[in-house]
Amino acid sequence: MLGYSDSSKDGGILTSSWELYLAQTSLASLGARHCLGITIFHGRGGAIGRGGGPIYDAILGQPPGTVNGRIRITEQGEMLSFKYGLHEIALRNMELVVAGVVQSSIPDDLLTVPQPFAQTPPAWLETMQRLSANAYAHYRQLIYDTPEFLRFFEQATPILELGWLNIGSRPSRRATGHSIEELRAIPWVFSWMQSRYVLPSWYGVGRALEAYLAEDNAHLAQLQQMYHAWPFLRAFLDNLQMTLSKADMHIAHHYASLVDNEELRQRISSDIVAEYERTQNMLLQIVGGKALLDTSPVLQRSIRLRNPYVDPLSYFQVALLRRLRSIGGPLVLDDTDQQRATDQQRERANLTYAVLLTINGIAAGLRNTG
């Protein structure tokens, strides 16, 4: 079984995706060497930072020789109702899975239209290795090597309030300690989606691409060719387009205003916004188009129509979080407690309930949240 969540949280989305690609390649080679059939179980969550995204493209993007007519996939959280709540939509999703598995399993010599490359060119593998190393370094520098980052994260997102939601089968932290390392991947991704930064799904990629393109003018043409001819990179960059489209740095700025230290707020939020703009600029150079998702107009229109209905909930949430935190943080009261509670306790309980409502609303509107 492949786990996407923790590797993405630990090393960033690009390094996670690439290392999982290499791991599958090694498993397929091992199975072939010993004449064993290997079925890879993909533990996908709903968010891009947890292995989510369009399933058909994801299957086509698997390394050569790793599908072979067999695949297992988890569907978690809100994706169950979104993908399988209605019979017609459930059937459509099953068709996409079957089509992807069949297409990935047909030998190249039997295809009507041959695949561009039966095996990934070594130069492409080397390029991905370099991009991964660079993205990993930048991701770790901000998330794990910046001592004040945890403070920014806890104040600029609703991570501390998520624990009061009646969702999830496990506590948000693996231990009683207080660090990013001990935080589980689901609340990590969920919190960044709520604040509209969507940081786990793209941070570090922009600097890696920028550094690579700056080395040689020919590198842009190479990455463009890789995008068009390599299903793995195409799926990765298209997912990047989707997550960048769902991010909103203007709204994220309002969440950052919850950080009480102005110097910390300015330093980290400026870094994140600069990386967002850098990633978007680099991505458009590779995939083409004037705006994100110009290559997927239906999805582009869907996100543009949906976001304005979610945006007010984000503004409400920021205002509610500011009020709730100013009087002591979340509090949940049952009916008996309500009768004995003071006015301030009742206000805390009502604000907690309102914040949790906005969390549910934003998650439902943005999708790909957990």
Give the CA distances from residue 111 to residues 11, 46, 116, 206, in Å, rounded to whole numbers and listed in that order.
37, 32, 11, 36
pLDDT of residue 95: 95
What is the rounded distance in angstroms from the CA atom of residue 353 to the CA atom of residue 331? 9
Instruction: Tell me how far the alpha carbon of residue 304 is from its chain's centroid.
Output: 19
- The residue segments making up the domain with residue 71 are 2-112
Give the CA distances from residue 68 to residues 65, 95, 107, 290, in Å, rounded to whole numbers and listed in that order.
6, 17, 9, 38
pLDDT of residue 146: 95
Count of H helices and E strands in the chain? 17, 3
pLDDT of residue 182: 85
Count up the domains in the chain and report the number.
1
pLDDT tens column, 35-80:
998 899 988 766 665 566 788 888 988 998 889 888 998 877 667 7
Tell me whether residue 82 is in a domain: yes
Mean pLDDT value across the chain? 88
pLDDT tens column, 120-158:
899 999 999 999 999 999 999 999 999 999 999 999 999
Tell me whether residue 212 is in a domain: no
Residue 330 in tokens: 């979340």
Tell me whether residue 153 is in a domain: no
pLDDT tens column, 308-317:
889 999 999 9
Tell which wins on pLDDT, 337 or 226: 226
Q: Lowest-pLDDT range, 28-37, 42-51, 185-194, 355-364?
A: 42-51
Q: Give the CA dihedral 298, 301, 305, 310, nearest 10 degrees.
A: 80
Tell me whether residue 94 is in a domain: yes
Taking a C-beta distance cutoff of 8 angstroms, is the pair 283, 237 a contact? yes
Q: Give the percent of the chain with pLDDT over 70.
A: 89
What is the rounded distance in angstroms from the CA atom of residue 22 to the CA atom of residue 11? 15
Residue 98 main-chain phi, psi, to 5 deg: -65, -45
pLDDT of residue 111: 57
Tell me whether residue 165 is in a domain: no
pLDDT of residue 118: 56
pLDDT of 179 > 70? The answer is yes
pLDDT of residue 167: 60
Tell me whether residue 357 is in a domain: no
Tell me whether residue 45 is in a domain: yes
Give the neighbor-by-neighbor strand order of the sheet with 41-43.
2-3, 41-43, 72-73
At residue 116 the predicted structure's pLDDT band, cuts being 50, 70 and 90, is very low
pLDDT of 184 > 80? The answer is yes
Tell me whether residue 327 is in a domain: no
DSSP string, 145-186: T-TTHHHHHHHHSSHHHHTTSS--SS-SBSSSS-STTTB-HH
